[in-house]
Amino acid sequence: MKKPIPTIRDVAAAAGVSTATISKFINGTQRFSPPVEARIADVIGQLGYRSNPLAQSMITGKTKTVGLSVLDVSNPHFTSIVKGANRVAQAHGYTVLLVDTEENPDRERPLLEALSRRVDGLIIFSRMPDAELEWLAGLDKPLVFFGRLPRLTLPTVASDDHRGAYMMTRHLVTLGHKRFAYMGFSRSRRDEERMGGVKECLAAHGLELAVYDAATPSAHEGERLCPEMMLGAEHPDALVCYNDLMALGFMKAAQTLGFRIPADISVAGVDNIVYGNYTSPPLTTVDLHSERMGVAAMEKLLDTIAGRPTEPFTLIEPQLILRGSTTSRN
Amino acid sequence: MKKPIPTIRDVAAAAGVSTATISKFINGTQRFSPPVEARIADVIGQLGYRSNPLAQSMITGKTKTVGLSVLDVSNPHFTSIVKGANRVAQAHGYTVLLVDTEENPDRERPLLEALSRRVDGLIIFSRMPDAELEWLAGLDKPLVFFGRLPRLTLPTVASDDHRGAYMMTRHLVTLGHKRFAYMGFSRSRRDEERMGGVKECLAAHGLELAVYDAATPSAHEGERLCPEMMLGAEHPDALVCYNDLMALGFMKAAQTLGFRIPADISVAGVDNIVYGNYTSPPLTTVDLHSERMGVAAMEKLLDTIAGRPTEPFTLIEPQLILRGSTTSRN
């Protein structure tokens, strides 16, 4: 491990040129005659010289890495986004550095400030309220944001959460359900859109909505809230959950309590995580196309970094995925 | 976004000291008199000066970030490791930069070489054969490796895969199972240990093992391999899978084919991913304590970076998690 690492001076001396020439050659900022370029490349190969990326970044101002901050790396919705973003970055020679803000708004700003100065651009998920996001502009890096941002003019990618929730609710109304519940996560900016879609559809049909709020967007919270919802005088006959994780937890707890799904209650989630396929019954859900969101966000970021024009706002259309956890009451 | 960013020269001029003094103050390499320190801190606050971390890294050689490479960020086994590692890093003021090598050995070396020069140390998962890992030493950074590494002397953290698989198999033998199958993933270095544990136990009881090899360690492969295993003349009555994802896929496909689990076949996985709780029946598995592995690896890495002594090898004990997917044949 301790053999001396060749420096740019060693390369310059061996090739018989200046260190400035080596630097320009490596960073591609100037061309030299073919014999000179061949000699430099040869020496670099022989000495096993690797330019110091920190020093190189200081000179070029480019790192060829991009940052992606997610709220919870263990939520499959986010890992699908990471997969999509990674694929595009890789195709363009970029490395993605990922940080997990762990659903903790207090961690976001310091983590993103630290990360922003090591990368060429950032894709950001945030739980912080819109009004507290003006510091993002101060990061002074190309940014892409997930979700709608009324107060800032950043390029954004968003799913149509309102429409997805509306479509799912309309489907359940058509199936004959009357007593609706929504298990939400009010700390998320997307909860308002999803609940709004459910409410708008129910109002149009003169139906009520019982709302239960989770402390975290997790299966554990779905389990915890189940008894309160199901063991009252009259339980709902259809439940739309903020996400699939909550729906998974709810279904397990309801079945443990002796309820049959979907005979006693139809259950739907949002996200179309892969594990919804492996429950019994499999979970009906709204696919927000997480992987496509990751692709769109990374394309937008790389366009911005390269100075290419890019659409300021991309809306990804939702899709209903109908499986066995919902049924007709007609 | 375009207001001029204050430089170290602006700070030095406003505080009436040299840029070298500001640099030493920021990096904590020299103390000055309390009034001087107060004046510098004051000016930094007023100007909103943030030191350039690339420049700072060039001076101190420290980035206060550590890298973690995982094989597949969408596998819950790895996200648990990330959670554990993140928690320890955060408690010590470090940021974790995560890269996903996507189960692709060809991607590992370039990604890790690029990452290594931006961080103070690295925690590495690898699919590359031991014989091809000597380049790791050339990264010239503190490293922690997951798994046993006979040929290199790096600090390592490993789960006892052999023992976990042995314990699970012995339990199934005790339950009266006779016809065993193992669904493996031979491209992983850990597959040999797991299958070895199953085989050692069965040999001691004079029982045979049917082996099925998956192309990827995924639920999809579990589904794909199910018909071949179950629709022959005599199907196994107990199946141990390389991981829980495969077991989830297998259970879904077997139930679709009309088999009852565990009445027709007991199914066990390895990893204890959270989704094994939400299948029906819930999945029996071996808990390798992924989160604890992440904690142990990060503690070892931060010890190494700080020059503190650390155990070269930590073995995490496995634990059986018995749920409804296995039953007695007695």
Cβ neighbours of residue B24 closer than 8 Å, sequence gap 6 or more: B30, B32
Higher-scoring residue by pLDDT: A98, A52: A98
Angle, helices B19-27/B53-60, rounded to nearest 10 degrees: 80
Of the two residues B49 and B58, the one the predictor is more confident about is B49
Return d(Cα A301, Cα A89) in angstroms, integer.
10
Specify which residues A145 forms β-bridges with. A124, A156
- Using alpha carbons only, what angle is made at residue B53 by residues B47 and B54, rounded to the nearest 5 degrees? 130
pLDDT of residue B81: 94
* pLDDT confidence of residue A149: 72
How many inter-chain contacts (A to B, CB under 8 Å) are there? Answer: 127
Could you tell me which of A216, A190, A200 has the C-alpha nearest to residue A271? A190
Query: What's the farthest any 2 CA atoms get from each other in chain B?
Result: 89
What pLDDT is attached to residue A1? 39
Asked whether residue A166 falls in the same domain as residue A285, the answer is yes
B131 touches chain A (CB under 8 A): no
How distant is the Cα of A37 from the closest Cα of chain B, in angstroms?
24
Residue of B277, B278, B291 to mutate for A, most A C-beta atoms under 10 A = B278
Are B143 and B69 members of one domain? yes
B244 lies in a domain?
yes
Q: How far apart are CA B75 and CA A80, in angstroms?
A: 11
Q: Across chain A, how many H-helices and E-strands are there?
A: 11, 12
| Band (B323; pLDDT cuts 50, 70, 90) | very high
- What's the pLDDT at A161? 95
Closest-approach residue (CA) in chain A for B2? A140
Query: Does pLDDT of B101 surpass 50?
Result: yes
Structure tokens at B224: 């794909």
The answer to whether residue B327 sits within a structural domain is: no
Task: pLDDT band for B52, please (50, 70, 90 cuts).
Answer: low
Do residue A267 and residue A202 come from a single domain?
yes
Q: For residue range B142-189, what is the model confidence (pLDDT) as tens digits?
A: 999 988 776 668 899 999 999 999 999 999 999 999 999 999 999 988
Residue B22 belongs to a domain with what CATH number?
Answer: 1.10.260.40
Q: Cβ of B256 under 8 Å from any chain A Cβ? A: no
Q: Give the range of the structural domain holding residue A28, as residue numbers without chain letter.
A: 8-60
**Does the CA dihedral A58-A61-A66-A72 come out positive or negative?**
positive
Q: DSSP labels for A65-103?
A: EEEEEES-TTSHHHHHHHHHHHHHHHHTTPEEEEEE-TT
Mean pLDDT of chain A: 89
pLDDT at B111 over 80: yes
Co-location of A114 and A256 in the same domain: no
Strand order in the sheet with B143-146: A313-316, A156-159, A143-146, A122-124, A65-70, A95-100, B95-100, B65-70, B122-124, B143-146, B156-159, B313-316
**Least confident among A33-37, A89-93, A232-236:** A33-37
Q: Which residue has the tokens 């420049």?
A: B55
Q: Nearest to residue B267, comparing CAs of B248, B244, B239, B287?
A: B239
Residues in chain B with CB shorter than 8 Å from the CB of A121 are: none
The span from the CA of A5 to the CA of A1, in Å, is 10
Which residue carries 């390895």 as its tokens?
A: B270
Is the model's pLDDT at B2 over the cut of 50?
A: no
- Residue type for position A268: A
- Asked if residue A200 and residue A114 are part of one domain, the reply reads no
* pLDDT confidence bin for A104, thresholds 50/70/90: confident
Q: Is residue B225 situated within a structural domain? A: yes
Same domain as B79, residue B155: yes
Share of chain B above pLDDT 90, in %: 62
Shared-domain flag, residues B179 and B253? yes
> Does residue A323 sit at the B interface (CB-CB below 8 Å)?
no
CB contact under 8 A, A279 and B274: no
Stretch B128-139: mean pLDDT, rounded?
82
For position A128, which CATH number holds? 3.40.50.2300
Domain assignment of residue A323, yes or no? no
Residues 39-78 of B with CB under 8 A from A: 50, 52-55, 57-58, 63-65, 73-74, 76
The tokens for B140 are 């010239």
Residues B192 and B123 occupy one common structural domain:
no
Is B326 part of a structural domain of the chain?
no
A234: amino acid identity, one letter: E
- B96 and B23 co-located in one domain: no
* DSSP SS3 for A170: helix
Q: Which residues in chain A have their CB less than 8 angstroms from residue B279's CB?
A: 278-280
Instruction: Tell whether B277 lies on the interface with A, counting CB pairs under 8 A.
Output: yes
Lowest model confidence (mean pLDDT) among A29-33, A84-88, A203-207: A29-33
Query: Given this model, what pLDDT does residue A28 score?
Result: 57
Interface test with chain A among B97, B103, B107, B298, by most A beta carbons within 10 Å:
B97
Q: What is the pLDDT of residues A146-205, one digit of tens each?
A: 887 766 688 999 999 999 999 999 999 999 999 999 999 999 889 999 999 999 999 999
> Is A324 a member of any domain?
no
Q: What local confidence, expressed as pLDDT, does residue A8 receive? A: 79
Res. B106: pLDDT tops 90: no
Regarding whether A273 and A171 lie in a shared domain, the answer is yes
CA angle A137, A115, A134 (to 5 degrees): 20
Q: Is residue A329 part of a domain?
A: no
Peptide bond into B227 cis (omega under 30): no
Element (H, E) at B59: helix B53-60
* pLDDT interval class at B60 (50, 70, 90): low
pLDDT of residue B41: 75
Co-location of A297 and A155 in the same domain: yes
Tens of pLDDT, residues A37-68: 778 878 877 776 665 555 555 555 677 899 99
Q: Is a pLDDT exceeding 50 seen at residue A237?
A: yes
CB contact under 8 A, A74 and B52: no
Q: B251: how many CB neighbours lie within 10 A of its CB?
A: 30
Is residue B151 within 8 A of residue B180, CB to CB? The reply is no
What pLDDT score does A2 carry? Answer: 40
Could you report the per-residue pLDDT of A200-216, keeping only the tens digit for each? Answer: 999 999 999 999 999 99
B257 shares its domain with B173: yes
Residue B328: inside a domain: no
Kindly determine whether residue B140 and residue A1, on different chains, have CB atoms separated by under 8 Å.
yes
Distances (CA, A) of A73 to A70, A223, B78, B83, B194: 6, 21, 10, 8, 27
Lowest-pLDDT choice from A82-91, A105-114, B27-36, B233-242:
B27-36
Contacts of B66 in chain A (CB under 8 A): none
Question: Is the four-CA dihedral A29, A30, A36, A37 of positive or negative sign?
Answer: positive
How far lies B114's CA from each of A95, B89, B198, in Å?
8, 21, 39
Report the gap between the CA of B203 and the closest CA in chain A (Å): 33
Picking from B91, B97, B147, B148, the residue whose alpha carbon sits closest to that of residue B122 is: B97
A261-313 pLDDT tens trace: 999 999 999 999 999 999 999 999 999 999 999 999 999 999 999 999 998 99
Rounded CA-CA distance A82/A71 in Å is 12
According to DSSP, the residues that pair with A38 across neighbouring strands are none
- pLDDT class of B108 with cuts at 50, 70, 90: confident
Burial class (CB in 10 A: 0-12, 13-18, 19+), A36: middle
How many alpha carbons fall within 13 Å on the CB side of residue B212?
Answer: 26
Mean pLDDT rounded to a whole number for chain B: 89
Residue A241 tokens read as 């959950």
Mutate to test the interface with B, among A47, A50, A51, A54 (most CBs of B within 10 A): A54
Domain count, chain A: 3
